[in-house]
Structure 1
Amino acid sequence: MIAKENYFEDELENKASIIKANEGEKLELNTISITFKVTSEISNDQLGIYEISLPPMAIGAKLHYHRYMDETFIVNEGILTIQVSDKEYNAEPGTIVYVPRFTPHGFRNDTNETVKLTLVFNPSQKREGFFKGLYETLNSVPIDPEKYLKLYNKYDSFPVDISNMIPIRE
């Protein structure tokens, strides 16, 4: 006798993840800190949540876009300068900036205070690999633009201007 599938009741599961304030894998990219909170592994590649700490005058990313994921910025402390297409905004604590795919954007800290934000990627596209590759690429001297672009493209990031894509102030 074949077991009959139940189409009328949900099967409940307990798969919640609770990541406390000081938990998560932490990477230090030069002076920028990234903490993995909800990873691709936890969310089955559906969601990535990362805490970012940008020190004074640091650049998070120059103008770029994504084809397959949306990105959301939640400013927790400080004032984040965010560029969306050809406009710049000062995002204060509590500000949420939703950037759907194919929208050029970049972000940086133009102040003398540290900016803390939460980045959300949906889907996550294994973003942790991007951050780990970024760590390796940006710690090379000199920074190899071809390697940087290869990393960007592998993880669904496309610079608007490849001659001005490395996140350093000139």
Structure 2
Amino acid sequence: MKKEPNYFEDELVNNASIIYPEEGESLHINGMSVTFKVTSELSNNQLGVYEITLPPKAIGAKLHYHRFMDETFIVTKGTLTIEIGDTKQKAESGTVAYVPRFSPHGFRNDTEETVQLLLLFNPAEKREGFFKGLHETLSEVPIDPKKYLKLYNKYDSFPVDTSNMIPVRE
């Protein structure tokens, strides 16, 4: 006998996840680290949460934008420099910066102290593939700008200036 759908009662499920501080796959990219906390797979591509550690003077990303996802920065330690358009903001621990799609932005650590932050992407757009590709691309010497741009574009990232997109200090 076929079970009739119940349109009036919620069907509760226990699909919650708790990710503890030392948990999650980590990648190390030119001194920076990325730890996957809430992945595209875990959230059905609805949300990505990544813990980022930037050593002193490290660049996370130069000015770029996204077409299909919003990005939120939550600074948990240190002072992060966030570029939004042609302005630069100092974001101290506790700062939340919401950057909706089509908003040019970049971020870096201009200090002598380590900066830690959480990056949230909504939707996730399989961002783990981006970070894994970034790990591969930025490990190569020299860095191939065409390969970097191809990776960026595949994962919904578009540099504002393709002649100044590689996250290294001149």
- Give TM-score, length-normalised by structure 1: 0.99
The equivalent residue for 2:35 is: 35
The equivalent residue for 1:87 is: 87
The equivalent residue for 2:123 is: 123
1:30 to partner: Cα distance = 1.4
Matching of residues 1-170 of structure 1 within 5 Å: 2-170=2-170
1:3 to partner: Cα distance = 3.4
Residue identity in the other structure for 1:34: V
Task: Tell me the alpha carbon deviations over residues 25-44 of structure 1, each in whole angstroms, 9 at most, x when there is no partner.
Answer: 01000100000000001000
In percent, how many aligned pairs have the same letter? 72
- Give TM-score, length-normalised by structure 2: 0.99
Please give the alpha-carbon distance, in whole angstroms, between the structure 1 residues aligned to 2:92 and 2:5.
Answer: 52
| Runs (5+) with no aligned partner, structure 2 | none
Task: Tell me the alpha carbon deviations over residues 41-94 of structure 1, each in whole angstroms, 9 at most, x when there is no partner.
Answer: 100000000000000000000000000000000000000000000100000000
Runs of 4 or more consecutive aligned structure 1 residues displaced over 6 Å after TM superposition: none
User: Residue 17 of structure 2 aligns to a residue in which SS?
Assistant: coil
Please give the alpha-carbon distance, in whole angstroms, between the structure 1 residues aligned to 2:152 and 2:77.
Answer: 27
1:114 to partner: Cα distance = 0.3
Residue identity in the other structure for 2:9: E
User: Residue 121 of structure 2 aligns to a residue in which SS?
Assistant: strand
User: Residue 41 of structure 1 aligns to a residue in which SS?
Assistant: coil
Please give the alpha-carbon distance, in whole angstroms, between the structure 2 residues aligned to 1:37 and 1:2.
Answer: 40
1:2 to partner: Cα distance = 4.7
Please give the alpha-carbon distance, in whole angstroms, between the structure 1 residues aligned to 2:5 and 2:147.
Answer: 51
Residue identity in the other structure for 1:25: E
Please give the alpha-carbon distance, in whole angstroms, between the structure 2 residues aligned to 1:141 and 1:22.
Answer: 31
User: Residue 40 of structure 1 aligns to a residue in which SS?
Assistant: coil
Pairwise CA RMSD? 0.7
| Runs (5+) with no aligned partner, structure 1 | none
